[in-house]
Structure 1
Amino acid sequence: MRNEIEQVGPRLRAARQARGWTLEELATRTGLSVSTLSRLEAGKRQASLELLLPITRQLGIRIDDLLPGESGDPRVRRETVRRDGMLIAPLTLDRSPVQAFKITYAPAPAPPAPRVHDGFEWLYVLSGRLRLVLDDTEHVLERGEAAEFDTRLPHSMTAMPEGPAEVLSIFSASGERIHTHLGGA
């Protein structure tokens, strides 16, 4: 536990430096003193929620990001599933903050009924052609094309009739739950 706490300061420093901010810039944004921030980063000041909340909000990170992740086997060993004409291969660990999948869509003569749910989706077409119906507008994405959309818009996806489409999909947590567990689009 002590070793984990000792990593908070260096992780704060790394997050600040990744933004290209000086201690002075972060101090101005958080309302904390340069001295306090410097001592936190050096491990000479005990980290508290009162101090960490404004810092993490400004840096755009979570408090969890300051703690070391679980070490162990980084390989993803989750089962591929077949559902609603899709072959879904997980590419991230179950506990990852975002979820990535390689999804193979079966060809279909027409798109399925559109669905809506909370979340965001980012996708990249690896092979084939993907029909994305988004808010009543049909888009055909070719190999090498990408799309990003708010899943609160009515949407559906399928491969074009001539053959399957392989897609790399990245979901926010809420979007992943709908698509891979509850029978989403």
Structure 2
Amino acid sequence: MSKSREFLPVRIAVLTVSDTRSLAEDRSGDVLAARITDAGHEIADRLILQDERAQIADQLRKWCADPQIDVVISTGGTGLTGRDVTVEAHRDVYEKEIDAFGTVFTIVSMQKIGTSAVQSRATGGVANGTYLFALPGSPGACKDAWDEILLKQLDYRHMPCNFVEILPRLDEHHRRK
């Protein structure tokens, strides 16, 4: 962490993808919301949607079009079953995929759950100047992704580089030259 840089909070929307959970039972969303606010960031919005690809992609696009949202983190629907469509919905929206996010998440997960980490399809990307991350639906996976990756990358003070410092340039290709 650079002591010469000031902390810059970001506005984060949290999406839980589940056919069965309500907000009262959303442990993974609760884990993310608590960690986001504890880190000094703002919860810009929070929703639960069913495992429906078009519905998830539509919500991601709405949040990406909202200038009050910098980051979207979803939890759930990243597995291998037929109803797990969150990754596909994210990729429907991405302009660029952050390939190394899934790789780093797998490395972190391997330390906790061993080879079972291969069952996760966690992903990250960028669309319309907004970061998007799809995490597995378990509270442990959300803790690992936040504590080991996102906490650092969403902190402007993290060196040698972080997601926050390039946030203003994510949509530069949309602007006139």
Task: Flag whether TM exceeds 0.5 (same fold).
Answer: no
Q: Which structure ranks higher in relative contact order (CA pairs < 8 Å, sequence separation ≥ 6)?
A: 2
Which structure would you say has the larger Rg? 1
Give the structure with the higher percent strand. Answer: 1
Greater helix share, 1 or 2? Answer: 2
